[in-house]
Amino acid sequence: MTDGAHKMTKKSFHLIGYGVAIVTMGWLFLSSISFVDTKEVGVVYRLGKWHRTLPAGIHLTFPFPIEDVEKLPFINTRNVDIHMPRLLTGDANLIEAKLVVQYDIIDPNPYVLSHAKTDAVLTSLLASTLIRVVGHSAIDQETFINRNRLENQIRTIGQNNIDQLNLGISLRSVGFQELSAPKAVIEAFNEISSARGEKDTMILSAQSYASKALPSARGDAQKFLEEAHADHAQIINLAKTRRTRFASLLPLWNSNPDVLRSTLKAQTWKAIQDKITVHHVSDGDQLILPAKPRETP
């Protein structure tokens, strides 16, 4: 090989080496750039272990295999629906509930890394919370059940459980889309409500009647009491008068009862002789008096 050919070969090797180096450096540079979309979160694994989480934007990392970036879909606010067709209350009543929960992801690290299926864990947690809260509640036959109280209890208990599991989630709102008696027993609740309505109507009617009848009854009672008091006073006065008269006649009765008897007969005859008709009959004569007509009751 001539010197010229040897130089050309050496120059070609140098060019190839430079090209490989440039390509390698370009590949290393490009593999070190990671673009994370606004609806994603970048999880950086360094040598196979979690190292950090990347927010939306352009980031520089160590090239593979030193660091590997896994892009996961990420939405700050999410919804979860929980439908329970049969729930047993604390007083052994059945209700049907559909709960809609809106939550925010406040810390993507535990949300992405703490559980493989965080949404499924959250759904199970809220479902058990719903069963627990309803199981300690009772049905009011008039208002059925207090929605606001149940929603507040579910949100408070659910958030405490979420914090204990470190899911990186904050509950934004908890609301019942449906909360009613099952169709199988809703007619019974309607009948109870109707019966209570009739009961209230009858109570109001009785109260109205009582408000009208009581004044009249009180007036009659007062009248009867006044008449009874008057009769009481009259009877007492008459008894006192008779007692005084009998007391005055007692000495004469004790001394000569025949004289007193004759005197009383004479006084009685004098008092009644103007009010009666006297018929004188002799022995053997018959006296027929007209019958006194009977008084109709």
Residue 186 · residue 180 · CB < 8 Å: yes
Per-residue pLDDT of 203-246, as tens digits, reads: 888 888 888 888 888 888 888 898 899 899 899 998 888 888 88
* Burial track 282-292 (b if 16+ CB lie within 10 A, e otherwise): eeeeeeeeeee
* 51 vs 258, residue with greater confidence: 258
Return the sign of the alpha-carbon dihedral for residues 236, 242, 246, 248: positive
Nearest residue to 158 via CA among 99, 225, 109, 95: 99
- For residue 67, give every residue at least 6 positions away whose Cβ sits within 8 Å of its Cβ, in sequence order, or none: 44, 45, 46, 47, 51, 61
pLDDT of residue 159: 92
> Which residues lie below 8 Å from residue 158, measured CB to CB, with a gap of 6+?
101, 125, 126, 129, 171, 174
Identify the band that residue 154 occupies on the pLDDT scale cut at 50, 70 and 90. very high
Q: Which residues contact 89 (CB under 8 A, 6 or more apart)?
A: 95, 134, 135, 137, 138, 139, 145
Round the average pLDDT of the chain to a whole number and report it.
77
Q: For residues 54 and 36, is the Cβ–Cβ distance under 8 A? A: yes
Strand blocks (E) in 169-254: 169-180
Would you state the structure tokens that stand for residue 251, as one six-digit string?
């000495």
What pLDDT is stored for residue 157 in this prediction? Answer: 93
Could you tell me the two tokens for 35?
A: 């673009």
pLDDT in tens, 63-97: 777 777 766 666 667 888 988 888 878 877 788 88
**Over residues 121-143, mean pLDDT:** 84
Q: Which domains does the chain have, with CATH numbers?
A: 18-73 (no CATH), 77-187 (3.30.479.30)
Return the pLDDT at 101. Answer: 92
Residue 297: its pLDDT value, please?
46
Average pLDDT over residues 106-119: 75
Residue 58 has pLDDT above 80, yes or no: no
* 265 contacts: CB under 8 Å, gap ≥ 6: none
How much of the chain exceeds pLDDT 70, in percent?
A: 72
Phi, psi of 33 (to 5 degrees): -100, 130
Residue 5 or residue 251, greater confidence: 251
Q: Which residue has the higher pLDDT, 200 or 37?
A: 200
φ, ψ of residue 75 in degrees (nearest 5): -130, 130
pLDDT over 50 (residue 260)? yes
Whether 100 shows a pLDDT value over 70: the answer reads: yes
The whole model's pTM is what?
0.47
